[in-house]
């Protein structure tokens, strides 16, 4: 029993000595360092089109339809919502949407159907286009009025050719430009 009392006293003394550790043995912390961060996101608008080339398949000597519709995706990240986003397709000149170098197919003979709508000649001049002096403009592909600040929109444009007279025999080539603009 004496040994038990002595052991208890020694244990109590050790416990008390541990509780009264001087401040000099406490944990030490460093100063706080601050790092300034910045991240700039600028407004953007992009457009993709697929496929990248099409072939016109004649239905007769006066009409042809594109081998596939063109899927046009417009994506935007704007500073604020409520603005407008316009997507259009146009040619560089009205007189030669397609040419063989001598013979031309004018934009008045190129028709565009947007999302299976009515095919309309690419002769518009009254829509928003990012190019300085475009030629014939097709019917507007997308007119997003009051859009949210971030968004994506996909449309299909099916091109066709139509003429009151036979197209002259030739190998024609041309480029249609797709463009998007935020206002």
The phi, psi pair for 46, rounded to 5°, reads -130, 160
pLDDT tens profile 12-35:
555 555 555 555 567 888 999 999
pLDDT given at position 82:
84
How many CB atoms sit inside 10 A of residue 129's CB?
A: 20
pLDDT tens profile 152-170:
999 999 999 999 999 999 9
Indicate the class that CATH gives domain 44-182.
mainly beta
Prediction pTM value: 0.77
**Domain locations along the chain:** 44-182
């Amino acid at each position: 029993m004496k040994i038990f009392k002595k052991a208890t006293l020694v244990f109590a003394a050790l416990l008390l000595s541990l509780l009264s550790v001087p401040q000099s043995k406490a944990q030490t912390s460093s100063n706080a360092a601050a790092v300034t961060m910045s991240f700039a996101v600028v407004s953007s608008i992009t457009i993709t089109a697929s496929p990248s080339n099409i072939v016109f398949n004649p239905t007769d000597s006066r009409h042809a339809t594109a081998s596939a519709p063109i899927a046009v995706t417009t994506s935007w990240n704007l500073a604020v919502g409520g603005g407008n986003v316009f997507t259009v397709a146009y040619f560089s000149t009205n007189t030669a949407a397609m040419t063989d170098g001598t013979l031309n197919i004018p934009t008045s003979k190129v028709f565009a159907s947007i999302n299976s709508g009515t095919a309309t000649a690419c002769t518009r001049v009254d829509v928003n286009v990012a190019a300085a002096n475009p030629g014939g403009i097709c019917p507007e592909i997308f007119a997003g009025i009051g859009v949210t600040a971030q968004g994506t929109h996909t449309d299909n444009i099916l091109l066709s050719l139509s003429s009151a007279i036979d197209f002259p025999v030739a190998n024609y080539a041309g480029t249609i430009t797709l463009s998007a603009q935020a206002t």
